[in-house]
Amino acid sequence: MKRDRQQGLKQGKFSAVWRRMKKNRTAMAGLVILIIIILMAIFADLIGDYNEVATKMDIANRLMAPMKKGLFGTDHYGRDVLARIAHGARVSLIIGFGAVLVSLVFGGAIGATAGFYGGRYDNIVMRCMDIIMAIPSTILALAVVAALGGGIFNLMIAIAVADIPNYARVVRSSVLTIRNADYIEAANAVGAGTAHVLARHIIPNVLGPIIVQCTLGIGSSILNAAGLSYIGLGVQAPRPEWGNMLSEAREFIQSAPHLIIIPGIFLALTVLALNLLGDGLRDALDPRLKD
Amino acid sequence: MSKIHTILEVKDLRVAYAGSGERVQAVNGLSFGVQEGECLGLVGETGAGKTTVALSVMGLLPERTSRIESGEIIFEGRDLLQCKKKEMQAIRGEKISMIFQDPMTSLNPVLTIGEQILEGLELHNEEKKSREELIARVHEMLELVGIPAARYHEYPHQFSGGMKQRVVIAMALACSPKLLIADEPTTALDVTIQAQVLDMMSQLRERLGMTMILITHDLGIVAEKCDTVATVYAGEIIEFGTVEDIFSGEAHHPYTKGLFDALPSLVSTERRLKSIEGLMPDPTDLPAGCKFHPRCPRCKPICREREPEPVQISQSHMIKCFLYAQGEEEMGSR
């Protein structure tokens, strides 16, 4: 009996979530793809040194097809595409995760307080969010980049700002439905304070929708960053990034299509992997869908 | 009956809800006392203000829309209405606990039931017990309410309604409160489970020496489980007495009588049940005089004008009705 109890204790939440995740094949496929891309980004220097391979021009070997020189061939300056993809993954992933983290922290805080306190505060804050939402996100990001200047960090902020209202809305609506639940009153009845109720009861309940929103958000942030780089406002050459690789390859779409196809595939794969993982995580996190 | 100690006393409580422009008088000068160890039943129709009384005692009235206009709620010599937020938090769960109506919704779906019972213990852990000790206490509580301790790690959706209500009871009793307020604890359960849960509650009450306020509209439950009964109508107590006074006494408030007439009887063979004519008065526009007069079959002119004073029929039995007030006067004049 005693051992039973202790085992039960050790088997925490995360192992239960992991056990349920493992059963979901598509989610696991997403996770595997994502891990491969993350490993690629981490070990980019082993795949090809930044200065020696990824950004070094070698005009003699320009526009080589995949497998002829390197796994993915070379671009119009003779740079190795595989190395550029790997270094580009670093930038894309940092921007994707970073932008989501920033907008989640700000949007989440705004949404949670608005939902919890309600009243005039809720009204004012959410109308501000509506104003931000009314501006097309690309235009807003353009404006922020124009004001702050280029660079990875500014690009991250630009994308995050446009996303804040989405998180605020998701979190607010979840908090609103949960705030009036009977179990919140029951928690009050056993003597819980506001902070305890928020941390113990409300946040775990809104986690599901937030995680889905986040994984989808990382994908769209990567796409947004690529889009901004594509029109020349994001990451500046010669630093490789998937968006500006696509942009540079435009001229060679006929003669060297792999320059478009390869970064495109990586972009699509990353976003797909994140979406699959997000769906799986949401199911795994909800104890009601257990087994 | 050596030492009778009043554990909770509510004096002239008035609570109003302010909705969109309207003022709803939910509780109008309600007073009662509960002796230590006894079980008080609050009976009345839906909307009579029973739950509002319970929430006032707990200090859980919705802050934005409700206001306590007057009154005192004295618990162990302290006026709860004067307590600060922090003090109330310390009392809630530790000294006074509450069981809510619907066990389906009063458990958090994403926490295991063990964690939810543990919560109250953690919040009131003045003795700085270790987590293991607290968990041992949770296991003890689970066994006490008849749930195997091994189910500690299961989630609410894995339990049936009756079992969930047991979990809710275990939550409320975990800190061994002095006073337990049960707000229609069995309304959401089916009849066979009702009996089980109620039996368990009264056993636990005797074992733990707890005082209980049982809110219900089921007179059968009151007859079986309560020591004293208060009939609530439109935010007032119109009759108060021991179970014997209410169930086998002679004198009754016409409303209480109406409630009893509405019960099916085993003896008579009437085809239809009687009902009390009319509806509860609109709490935004309460009638003058006795609040029951528009529905009262024995209404007299004075009932429309003046509010009746409480009349002591016997030492334990109080009725708020002119029928008995006049009876007294007549007797006095003879």
| Residues of chain B positioned with their CB less than 8 A from the CB of A287 | 109-110, 155, 157
Q: What parts of chain B have a pLDDT lower than 50?
A: 1-2, 328-334
Would you say residue A202 lies in a domain? yes
- The model scores a pTM over 0.90: no
pLDDT digits over A172-224, tens only? 998 888 888 888 888 888 888 888 888 888 888 888 788 888 888 888 888 88
In angstroms, the CA A177 to CA B265 distance is: 44
Residue of B101, B119, B126, B132 to mutate, interface with A, max A Cβ within 10 Å:
B119
* Residue A280 phi, psi dihedral angles, 5° rounding: -65, -40
- Res A4: pLDDT: 42
| Cis peptide, bond prior to residue B301, ω within 30 of zero | no
User: From the CA of B234, how many Å to the nearest CA of chain A?
Assistant: 25
Domain containing residue A216: 2-49+65-284
Domain count, chain A: 1
- Res A38: pLDDT: 93
Would you say residue A56 lies in a domain? no
pLDDT band at A100 (very low <50, low <70, confident <90, very high): very high
- Res B333: pLDDT: 39
- Three state DSSP letters for chain A: CHHHHHHHHHCCHHHHHHHHHHHCHHHHHHHHHHHHHHHHHHCHHHHCCHHHHHCCCCHHHCCCCCCCCCCCCECCCCCEHHHHHHHHHHHHHHHHHHHHHHHHHHHHHHHHHHHHHCHHHHHHHHHHHHHHHHCCHHHHHHHHHHHHCCCHHHHHHHHHHHHHHHHHHHHHHHHHHHHCCHHHHHHHHCCCCHHHHHHHHHHHHHHHHHHHHHHHHHHHHHHHHHHHHHCCCCCCCCCCCHHHHHHHHHHHCCCCCHHHHHHHHHHHHHHHHHHHHHHHHHHHHCHHHCC
Measured CA to CA in angstroms, residue A110 lies from A33, A163, A219 at distances of 33, 13, 23
In angstroms, the CA A146 to CA A150 distance is: 8
- Res A11: pLDDT: 52
| Residues of chain B positioned with their CB less than 8 A from the CB of A193 | 89
**Interface residues on B facing A, Cβ-Cβ cutoff 8 A:** 58, 60, 64, 89-94, 97-98, 100, 102, 105-111, 119-120, 123-124, 135, 139, 149-150, 152-153, 155, 157, 168, 171-172, 174-175
- Res A15: pLDDT: 78
In angstroms, the CA B141 to CA B251 distance is: 43
pLDDT digits over A18-47, tens only? 888 888 899 999 999 999 999 999 998 888
Nearest CA in chain B to A190: B93
- Res A39: pLDDT: 93
CB B292 within 8 A of CB B323: no
Would you say residue A90 lies in a domain? yes
Would you say residue A114 lies in a domain? yes
- Res A247: pLDDT: 83
pLDDT digits over B252-286, tens only? 888 888 888 888 777 777 777 778 877 788 878 88
- Res B331: pLDDT: 43
Would you say residue A60 lies in a domain? no
Which of A32-36, A95-99, A232-236 has the lowest average pLDDT? A232-236
Would you say residue A138 lies in a domain? yes
In angstroms, the CA A172 to CA A181 distance is: 15
Q: Is the pLDDT of residue A164 over 60?
A: yes
Would you say residue A83 lies in a domain? yes
Residue A213: CATH number of its domain: 1.10.3720.10
pLDDT band at A290 (very low <50, low <70, confident <90, very high): low
